[in-house]
Amino acid sequence: MASAISANRLELLQVAELLAREKSIDKEIVLEAMEEAIQKAARSRYGVENEIRAQIDRNTGEIRLFRVIEVVEAVENTATEISLEEARIDKADAEIGDFLASPLPPMDFGRITVDDDLVLYLFGTPGQRRFDFMWEILAEGMLGFVVMVDSAKPETFREAKSILETFRAYAPTPYVVAANKQDHAEAWTPEDLRIALRIEENVKLLPCVATDKESVKNVLLELLYSILEEMET
């Protein structure tokens, strides 16, 4: 049996229901988009080289994560492939072409309790345009947002800039920009990213490594500080 993610299950289904109703689309499409967002977040924690699948229980909202590997004749990628001999250690009837799913340990997703009076809810959304139906609804009532930029892939900068401008248009809330993959040799520095994306000097543009818990924590804290400053003015 797979391990479940600690999450606010009923609220997850309620958000999916709201999105489907507001946009007049099938709820299943919304849930599939949520699963993709969860998979992306999970890869940041468990390793982008792994093939990870997320499943949201349509009745309970329970989220489960699996690492998926394919049984192959000759292993070329140990992160996503396994030999028939090794596969049959755990599954005696495994065959070439089968996919084996291994449960992943629990991870927190969606909610951060700062203290007794302050709880933050985090909603991730894929950046691809085919999921833009989620953006406007998620923007309603949001206190702030983070735009994560792949600083090692300049071909994604234009899309990141477009997403940033879209969310700014939805709501005039505080935001920060995270320059991800700063541990890669080919990553652009935050200073160069600011110029490339034409981000104002007063906007926080922070170095980030999404696989590092402390790095992500710093980004979220900076967003929180900006939100609290806004509330006090």
Domain of 218, in residue numbers: 141-232
Q: Last residue of some domain: 82, 103, 124?
A: 103
Of the pLDDT bands very low, low, confident and very high (cuts 50, 70, 90), residue 151 is very high
Shared domain for 98 and 149, answered yes or no, is no
- Identify the three-state secondary structure at position 104: coil
User: Does 220 map to a domain?
Assistant: yes
Domain presence at residue 113: no
Q: What is the CATH number of the domain that holds 197?
A: 3.40.50.300
pLDDT band for position 7 (50/70/90)? very low
Q: 212 and 161, same structural domain?
A: yes
Residues 72 and 156 in one domain: no
**pLDDT given for residue 192 in this prediction:** 96
Residues 98 and 153 in one domain: no
- Shared domain for 86 and 145, answered yes or no, is no
In a domain, 125, yes or no: no
Q: What's the DSSP call for residue 74? A: S
Which of the listed residues 49, 83, 103 is the one where a domain comes to its end?
A: 103
Q: Are 98 and 14 part of one and the same domain?
A: yes
Average pLDDT over residues 123-134: 62
Phi-psi region for residue 65, left (φ > 0), alpha (ψ -120 to 50) or beta? Answer: beta
pLDDT band at 24 (very low <50, low <70, confident <90, very high): confident
Cβ atoms of 66 and 101 closer than 8 Å: yes
At 210, phi and psi to the nearest 5?
A: -65, -20
Query: Quick one: 98 and 146 in the same domain?
Result: no
Q: Rounded to an integer, what distance in angstroms lies between the CA atom of residue 208 and that of residue 147? A: 11
- Cβ neighbors of 51 (< 8 A, separation 6 or more) are 67, 68, 69, 79, 80
- The confidence score (pLDDT) of residue 45 equals 65
Total count of domains within the chain: 2
Domain CATH code at residue 41: 3.30.1480.10
Distance CA 59, CA 183 (A): 40
pTM: 0.56
List, for residues 25-76, the tens digit of each pLDDT value: 899 988 888 888 788 777 766 777 889 899 988 988 888 889 899 999 999 9
Q: What is the mean pLDDT of residues 8-35?
A: 81
What pLDDT, on the 0 to 100 scale, is given for residue 4? 35
Does residue 114 form part of some domain?
no
Q: Does residue 220 register a pLDDT over 80?
A: yes
In this predicted structure, the answer to whether residue 84 has a pLDDT above a threshold of 90 is: yes
Lowest-confidence pick of 31-35, 91-95, 205-209: 31-35
* 119 located within any domain: no
> What is the three-state SS of 138-206?
HHCCCCCEEEEEECCCHHHHHHHHHHHHHHHHHCCCCEEEEEECCCCCCCCCHHHHHHHHCCCCCCEEE
- Is 37 found in the same domain as 83? yes
